[in-house]
Amino acid sequence: MTEYRVLGRTGLRVSPLCLGAMMFGWWGEQSPAESARIIDRALDAGVNFIDTADVYSQGQSEEFVGEALARSGRRDQVVLATKCNGAMGEGPNQRGNSRRWIFQAVENSLRRLGTDWIDLYQIHRPDPGTGIEETLGALTDLVRQGKVRYLGSSTFPAHRIVEAQWAAERRGLERFVCEQPPYSLLARGVEADVLPVASSYGMGAIVWSPLAGGWLTGRYRKGRELPESRRAGLLPERYDMELEANQRKLEAVERLAVLAEESGHTLVELAVAFTLRHPAVTSAIIGPRTMEHLESQLTAVDVRLGDDVLDRIDAIVTPGVTINQGDAGWRPPELDDASLRRRP
């Protein structure tokens, strides 16, 4: 892997594959030593970008990453990213995007990662109850303190990306330099607005779940027994085959698998390479649980899909369409709380 891409307008060069660490810890690989082996292999292959979050296995992922980098002495070689927003305790202020929580969360992440600074600190989800100026003001102070180098958002809808950019300019605050949206062959909704908006503001895009939570690994096929996974239990709306949207995903996967075979690639390679071909995408986050998973995804960086293959993909899954809205990653509270839709 010799290609490196500039993250937005930062001048920071990152590998087109970003090693996602969500599966390190009790959610997936529970051995720190095996997680370190996977991290070392990714770095040896040219990956210089690692993404985690405080909420992944309630801090274990950050600890595993920190231990691995300390053991190998490669912290300075890595662009290290993490996130905050998710609940890290029972208290009402142990989550969200407030100044109080962000300050506490970043100190906790620095400790778990065993580092003095975080290269990219991202807000994991929008927090409708917190003004964006509050969030950006706290993050700006952390940048000025040297604890954080760059700021990003994750799974923000397009209008909130715009709101954050305007607030930063209006108030003289540090801005988000990148967005981390869900993007895959089965979840293309961000093509309609998020990716164009991010590009228009000179933001990088680090896309998560290019394998659609395992749907594009080849394990989900018609006529086969569906695999068991922890994610399926935690996120049933994305995997329950009683749902019509998931049946449509399975139909699309069958056609995409045929296309991959006919084009001389694995389904994994087709899926990851597809996301990397979008001009707004800087890196695709791969989240292996095993060394085998990692090896199957590393080869995707050398695959360049031709327009003929991309045209056939468009015929299978319409551009800008997410087949199951459960894969969109964030649902506006107005859709679930009727009081937010009805005038009293």
Tell me which residue of 127, 140, 136 sits closest to 166, measured CA to CA. Answer: 136
Classify strands 5-6 and 13-14 as parallel, antiparallel or unpaired: antiparallel
Give the 3-state secondary structure of residue 178: strand
Torsion, Cα of 283, 289, 290, 294 (10° steps): -10
Annotation marks residue 56 as catalytic: yes
CB-count exposure of residue 88 (10 Å: 0-12, 13-18, 19+) = middle
Q: How far is CA 290 from CA 30, 230, 240, 269, in A?
A: 11, 15, 24, 17
Contacts of 67 (CB under 8 A, 6+ apart): 32, 36, 114
The count of C-alpha atoms lying within 13 angstroms of the C-alpha of 239, restricted to the half-sphere facing its C-beta, is 19
- Per the CB < 8 A criterion, the answer to whether 231 and 168 are in contact is no
Distance CA 153, CA 156 (A): 6
Tell me which residue of 151, 158, 280, 271 sits closest to 209, measured CA to CA. Answer: 271
Catalytic residue among 56, 201, 220, 239: 56
Q: Rounded to a whole number, what is the distance in angstroms from the first to the last CA of the chain?
A: 58
Tell me which residue of 106, 113, 111 sits closest to 75, measured CA to CA. Answer: 113
- Per the CB < 8 A criterion, the answer to whether 302 and 17 are in contact is no
Give the 3-state secondary structure of residue 255: helix
Residues identified as active-site:
56
